[in-house]
């Protein structure tokens, strides 16, 4: 991911209603699909300003909110302070370069995987960091033709994913009870005035 691009976008990130709505849909889908509880130690990768993570934090014991963008994490830290949130800890690091020794009951990421060139390696890292019986949740775009992002968009490594390919990947990593559901559809209008829907899926599974 390009940290600089997201650093520059951080201040106005939450002002796009479409982004806020998507985060709410993803958080609701994770909450309704997985058995979250207040003893869970969770990690979110690519947390951004915390739109998904802060929605789920009240259901969890702790949340480690990780991103490579210090600008995004500054916005998140401000929210945590203003809202007096005690169980969320922001951390700036790249898990592929700086793996954590901690293990988690839940790992989730939302609209992050398409920014990661080595997406399979990241999923493998998630698998390593889950405790036995822990849960993984990944939300991202279904495979598209590259028209979703603006031409100048930075750090786009994949034009979405075929969910069934990801099912095979995480199953090979030892995840069970793997399921995929469409959780939202982002409507965008092209320069030619044509509306198009871009589905967003949630893949979830259990380790062991």
Statement: residue 50 has pLDDT above 60: yes
What is the CATH code for 3-207? 3.40.50.150
CB atoms closer than 10 angstroms to residue 174: 13
> CA torsion 13→117→158→90, rounded to 10°?
-20
- The number of CA neighbours under 13 Å toward the Cβ of 116 is 24
For 172-201, write each residue's pLDDT tens digit.
999 999 999 999 998 888 777 888 899 999
For 15-24, write each residue's pLDDT tens digit.
678 889 999 9
Residue 133 token pair = 């019986």
Contacts of 26 (CB under 8 A, 6+ apart): 52, 110, 111, 139, 183, 184, 200, 202
Instruction: State the Cα–Cα distance between residues 79 and 129, nearest whole angstrom.
Output: 27
CB atoms closer than 10 angstroms to residue 64: 20
**C-alpha 85, offset from chain centre:** 20
**What is the predicted pLDDT for the residue at 1?**
40
Statement: residue 101 has pLDDT above 80: yes
- Look at strands 175-189 and 195-207 and give their pairing: antiparallel
For 105-159, write each residue's pLDDT tens digit.
999 999 999 999 999 999 999 999 999 999 999 999 998 887 787 655 667 888 8
Statement: residue 2 has pLDDT above 70: no
What is the DSSP secondary-structure string of the chain? --HHHHHHHGGGGGG-HHHHHHHHHHHHHHHHHS---TT-EEEEES-TTSTTHHHHGGGSSEEEEEES-HHHHHHHHHHHHHTT--SEEEEE--TTTS--S--EEEEEEES-GGG-TTHHHHHHHHHHHEEEEEEEEEEEEBP--S-SS-TT------S-B-HHHHHHHHHHTTEEEEEEEEEEEEEEE-TTS-EEEEEEEEEEEEE-
């Amino acid at each position: 991911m390009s940290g600089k691009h997201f650093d520059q976008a951080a201040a106005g990130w939450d002002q796009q209603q479409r982004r806020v709505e998507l985060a709410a849909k993803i958080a609701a889908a994770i909450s309704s699909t997985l058995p979250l509880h207040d003893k869970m130690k969770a990690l979110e990768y690519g947390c951004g300003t915390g739109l998904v993570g802060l929605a789920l934090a009240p259901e969890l014991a702790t949340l480690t909110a990780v991103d490579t963008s210090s600008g995004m994490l500054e916005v998140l830290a401000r929210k945590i302070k203003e809202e007096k949130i005690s169980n969320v800890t922001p951390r700036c690091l790249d898990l592929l370069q700086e793996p954590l020794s901690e293990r988690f009951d839940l790992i989730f990421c939302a609209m992050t995987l398409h920014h990661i060139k080595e997406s399979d390696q990241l999923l493998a890292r998630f698998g390593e960091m889950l405790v036995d019986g822990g849960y993984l949740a990944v939300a991202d775009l279904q495979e598209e033709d590259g028209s979703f992002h603006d031409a100048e968009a930075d750090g786009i490594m994949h034009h979405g994913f075929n969910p069934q390919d990801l099912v095979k990947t995480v199953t090979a990593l030892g995840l069970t009870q793997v399921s995929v559901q469409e959780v939202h559809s982002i409507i965008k209008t092209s320069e030619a005035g044509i509306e198009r829907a871009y589905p967003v899926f949630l893949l979830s599974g259990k380790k062991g």
